[in-house]
Amino acid sequence: MTHGSFTWNELYTRDVEAAKAFYAATIGWTFEGVPMAHQNRTYWIAKVEGRPVAGILDMRGIVPDSDPPHWLSYLEVDNVDRCAAEIGRHGGRIVRAPFDIPNFGRIAIGADATGAFLAWVTSKR
């Protein structure tokens, strides 16, 4: 993982099955479900030739009902806590302070100075 590189993309949708069917039919993705017991939902890892390329999850209960389905990109940073502390000072904002995802890394979610949403991540290495 290289500091400043996009490393993951995640689809937030209210119709996971329709999204899976669409991407399977149009680009050949296959899917592996990973239970998220703490949230009573499944996280779907999209794969190409067995290699993880993206994630899909049901956005209900995670984001406001008014948010449309969307892709969220993850930007790799060396230290997500330090980065999150700098974001507000440079015109961005954090909407979810840094938190840990087991076996993945530490993440903060927010918006850049233009209002575009993204996630910053320090991956487990």
Among 42, 69, 96, give the residue marking a domain's end: 69
Do 23 and 63 reside in the same domain of the chain?
A: yes
**Prediction pTM value:** 0.88
Q: Is residue 104 part of a domain?
A: yes
Give the count of domains, the chain: 2
Q: Is residue 2 part of a domain?
A: no
Q: What is the DSSP string of the chain?
A: --TT-EEEEEEEES-HHHHHHHHHHHH--EEEEEEEGGGTEEEEEEEETTEEEEEEEE-BTTB-TTSPPEEEEEEE-S-HHHHHHHHGGGT-EEEEEEEEETTTEEEEEEE-TTS-EEEEEEE--
Expressed as residue numbers, the domain containing 57 is 9-69
Among 46, 69, 92, give the residue marking a domain's end: 69
Per-residue pLDDT of the chain (125 residues; tens, 9 = 90+): 799 999 999 999 999 999 999 999 999 999 999 998 777 899 999 999 999 999 999 999 988 999 999 999 999 999 999 999 999 999 999 999 999 988 889 999 999 999 999 999 999 87
The CATH code of the domain that includes 32 is 3.10.180.10
